[in-house]
A and B are shown apart, each in its own frame.
Chain A
């Protein structure tokens, strides 16, 4: 019985010790819970300055700081073992934006907070200018946009309402205005003036000036214009060239259109067929050239700057160079010689005058032969193999004159 009592006492004692020790450890664990208080007072820092986040720990433990900022996240270690004194690395301290951080102890987060880094207005301002489109049209409707992105020397956009001075020069105009930046940029639309030319642009923020930018102002759309013709003579010799010349083409503000503007000349002949030539402007004038017709004709000419402007209609006539020509049949009529073809002063027509013959048999056209003259003469051969013996009709056309020979007998 005594033995049993002893055991019971021992057991009781043992359990007592156990409970006490458990209680103790729980109490110890409670004090073991680490807490942290932020000592750093500032919440706003200027970019580029050293940022120190100092925490007071209730118990020294190993800590790390998780930082999340504009360009990504990092984890940094405390300066010294078992404290919580953090120097935010330079590459993060110099970037504008909100920085969230979490202080990490050995088992999870101890403190969370955020600081703000603002752009450093004390450093030299950097400017980036974007100007576009680089060419515009005169007349005050078209515009180019000048965008200025001012940053501090750490490449942070300056805050809203930063004053941006802009200036531009055009001919004898010089204008200046001050913008307030917003959404990282200062911007303005610069409208063209009535004259064509070149606008020079410039901007300035703080003490920093930009380089010179230029925007080309091209003349506006051309207005309607006049044309005239120029030719050496009025004969339809198929040899000389007629020029069509425009007046100086200008836009509505009197600016001469840009060199190289294309002018198309459309020519309608007496039969209503359309011919076409073109030229591009130099100093506002375009010249179109075309060969004289080789027969009597009347042309109506009109010029266009396609889609934009057109000219008056010009009418010019060409007179025939000859009334008749000789035709000689030889070698059983198989050799036909035409000519000499003589022009308006009885001179031989220039080489290359086109002569055309049509050969008919039983009122059926068999062949059309075309040759050009040489020294005023053209010779056609109707060869044995192709033309069997028999009667043929032959039509000859040259320089607008037509002659017909019926029942020519080939042998």
Chain B
């Protein structure tokens, strides 16, 4: 017995000794690595700053002709980058009332003004969330030694949301001109003087080709009234990952045939924000999207393209990045005949609680304006998840889209109630029933029940001439966790919304897919 105890004590002592040594070594190494941080001398010159672009408002150089000296392309880019950074840093500072980064982009005499202003705002607990979306810059002067530049920035669109004691006080949009003097110091173009010159508001009017338009509560395509009979589409093998590695245009083309032959004329597809490359949209993704749209055009299907899938930031400082994302996608397809509408975001009202209603609405509102600028030819809509939200921003969009998964019997009532508030075409953009009877939902609807549901819905649709897109063509094998969460019964339900089962057999509901 004694021997056992002794051994236990021995091993305890040895283990604690080893543990202490490990801790000491870890501590020393941490101290050393802390002491060596920031020792890189090249960092003093700011030559190789790792700059991730976080602020990308639309900036156009109007002209660079100036009496001082011709400017080099590289310097022009440096000035542009640092000038925008100065705006970003200032916006961020006014949001948090902290001075981080101000000294990098404003000279000593200029930053004083910002700092006093920040202090005053902090005392009163004022936070200003702001961003700029447009800059039109002209170079007024560039000095012979390349150290000083004066620029005029016209039509700077500033969006600001003012909070006091965490309560929204004011939402404002201003458009102003600024004259700015910048100086090259320590490798940064820093703002020395900044003078706001003028206020005005004028939005460029974009010329539309009028091929798709809305008159009253009707949609017209090429001057013919267009009734949307559609379906939300993902390929069977790659739900929520349509443009990924397993993308196959032949599969998609075959599906389009199925859809067209079923008597439908419209599909709705989804563009995931991050997968498409966020602010720098990947060309290979755009090419895939173009292939899909070309295919749809060939099969005579119209497409509602839903942007910003799985996006969820909405913060004012993130605006410009999403604007560039939209610009690159939307402007590529300005003249594409297959597109019916841009759906800005799928079910954004579900983000009201987590992200703040005013954040989400302001983002959507600005985005409608941005997209109209990039593409005046196609319609704009927002895919609200319920009828109650559908009247939000109705002046900003061309058609009103809503989703309906509640009891079918209350639908006519909800539809009429919604219609009373809206004078634009209304599109039932998602509806459907999962034939999910099985282990996870023993009392769920059967395939017959699903068929009945669609039969009934088609009658309502016929009665009121409702634009519709059902959810969805296929039953899926896998549903990513990002869609409905990780809970298996939720995933299970989401797998059985299709008109065609996993083995490619048409379910009974298929009969009522379009009539």
Cα–Cα distance between A70 and B120 once the two chains are bound (Å): 16
User: Which residues of A have CB within 8 Å of B193?
Assistant: 149, 151, 155-157, 184
> What 1/0 flags go to B157-171 for Cβ under 8 Å of A?
010101010000110
User: Which residues of A have CB within 8 Å of B199?
Assistant: 98, 100, 114
Closest 5 A-B residue pairs measured CB to CB?
A: A132-B145, A145-B144, A97-B196, A91-B116, A183-B140
Chain A: which residue is nearest B124 at the CB level? A75
Cα–Cα distance between A95 and B150 once the two chains are bound (Å): 18
30 residue pairs from A and B, CB less than 8 Å apart: A66-B169, A69-B196, A71-B113, A72-B114, A73-B94, A73-B128, A73-B130, A73-B160, A74-B117, A75-B124, A97-B195, A98-B199, A100-B174, A100-B176, A100-B199, A102-B170, A104-B169, A104-B170, A109-B170, A114-B199, A130-B147, A132-B143, A133-B144, A143-B144, A183-B141, A183-B150, A183-B179, A184-B179, A185-B148, A185-B181
Other A-B contacts than A72-B117, A97-B194, A130-B143, 4 sampled, CB-CB below 8 A, are A68-B172, A91-B117, A132-B144, A151-B193
In residues 279-302 of chain A, which contact B (Cβ within 8 Å)? Answer: none
Cα–Cα distance between A102 and B90 once the two chains are bound (Å): 21
A112 CB, nearest partner CB in chain B, Å: 9
* CB–CB A149/B117 < 8 A: no
* CB–CB B141/A95 < 8 A: no
Cα–Cα distance between A367 and B206 once the two chains are bound (Å): 90
Asked whether any CB of chain A lies closer than 8 Å to the CB of B68, the reply is yes
Cα–Cα distance between A310 and B170 once the two chains are bound (Å): 75
Chain B residues with CB under 8 Å of chain A are 68, 90, 94, 109-110, 113-114, 116-118, 120-121, 124, 126, 128, 130, 140-141, 143-145, 147-148, 150, 152, 158, 160, 162, 164, 169-170, 172, 174, 176, 178-179, 181, 192-199
* CB–CB A70/B195 < 8 A: yes
A265 CB, nearest partner CB in chain B, Å: 36
User: Which residues of A have CB within 8 Å of B195?
Assistant: 70, 96-97, 156-157, 184
User: DSSP class of B's interface residues: helix, strand, loop or mixed?
Assistant: strand
> What 1/0 flags go to A88-125 for Cβ under 8 Å of B?
01011001111110101000110000100000000000
Cα–Cα distance between A100 and B162 once the two chains are bound (Å): 15
Chain B: which residue is nearest A155 at the CB level? B109
User: Which residues of B have CB within 8 Å of A31?
Assistant: none
Chain B: which residue is nearest A143 at the CB level? B144
* CB–CB A187/B162 < 8 A: no
User: Which residues of B have CB within 8 Å of A132?
Assistant: 143-145, 147
User: Which residues of A have CB within 8 Å of B124?
Assistant: 75, 77
Cα–Cα distance between A9 and B60 once the two chains are bound (Å): 75
* CB–CB A70/B178 < 8 A: yes
Asked whether any CB of chain B lies closer than 8 Å to the CB of A203, the reply is no
* CB–CB A75/B181 < 8 A: no
* CB–CB A92/B162 < 8 A: no
A59 CB, nearest partner CB in chain B, Å: 20
Number of interface residues of A (CB under 8 A): 42
Asked whether any CB of chain B lies closer than 8 Å to the CB of A144, the reply is yes
User: Which residues of B have CB within 8 Å of A95?
Assistant: 113
User: Which residues of B have CB within 8 Å of A102?
Assistant: 170, 172
Cα–Cα distance between A68 and B171 once the two chains are bound (Å): 13
User: DSSP class of A's interface residues: helix, strand, loop or mixed?
Assistant: strand
Q: In the complex where A71-B117, A155-B109, A187-B68 touch, is A98 in contact with B160 (Cβ < 8 A)?
A: no
Chain B: which residue is nearest A94 at the CB level? B113
User: Which residues of B have CB within 8 Å of A155?
Assistant: 109, 113, 193
* CB–CB B198/A91 < 8 A: no
User: Which residues of B have CB within 8 Å of A130?
Assistant: 143, 145, 147-148
Cα–Cα distance between A185 and B67 once the two chains are bound (Å): 12
* CB–CB B162/A66 < 8 A: yes
* CB–CB B181/A184 < 8 A: yes
In residues 61-90 of chain A, which contact B (Cβ within 8 Å)? Answer: 64, 66, 68-75, 77, 89
Chain B: which residue is nearest A90 at the CB level? B116
Asked whether any CB of chain B lies closer than 8 Å to the CB of A394, the reply is no
Asked whether any CB of chain B lies closer than 8 Å to the CB of A401, the reply is no
* CB–CB B162/A75 < 8 A: yes
Chain A: which residue is nearest B183 at the CB level? A130
Cα–Cα distance between A64 and B150 once the two chains are bound (Å): 35
Asked whether any CB of chain B lies closer than 8 Å to the CB of A147, the reply is yes
* CB–CB A147/B148 < 8 A: yes
Cα–Cα distance between A253 and B174 once the two chains are bound (Å): 59
User: Which residues of B have CB within 8 Å of A99?
Assistant: 196
B244 CB, nearest partner CB in chain A, Å: 44
User: Which residues of B have CB within 8 Å of A68?
Assistant: 158, 160, 172, 174, 196
B389 CB, nearest partner CB in chain A, Å: 23
User: Which residues of A have CB within 8 Å of B170?
Assistant: 66, 102, 104, 108-109
Asked whether any CB of chain B lies closer than 8 Å to the CB of A40, the reply is no
Asked whether any CB of chain B lies closer than 8 Å to the CB of A169, the reply is no
Cα–Cα distance between A185 and B180 once the two chains are bound (Å): 12
A147's partner among B94, B143, B162, B164 (CB-CB below 8 A) is B143
B117 CB, nearest partner CB in chain A, Å: 5
Cα–Cα distance between A95 and B181 once the two chains are bound (Å): 15
Q: In the complex where A133-B144, A147-B143, A157-B181 touch, is A74 in contact with B121 (Cβ < 8 A)?
A: yes
* CB–CB B114/A71 < 8 A: yes
Asked whether any CB of chain B lies closer than 8 Å to the CB of A21, the reply is no
* CB–CB A75/B164 < 8 A: yes
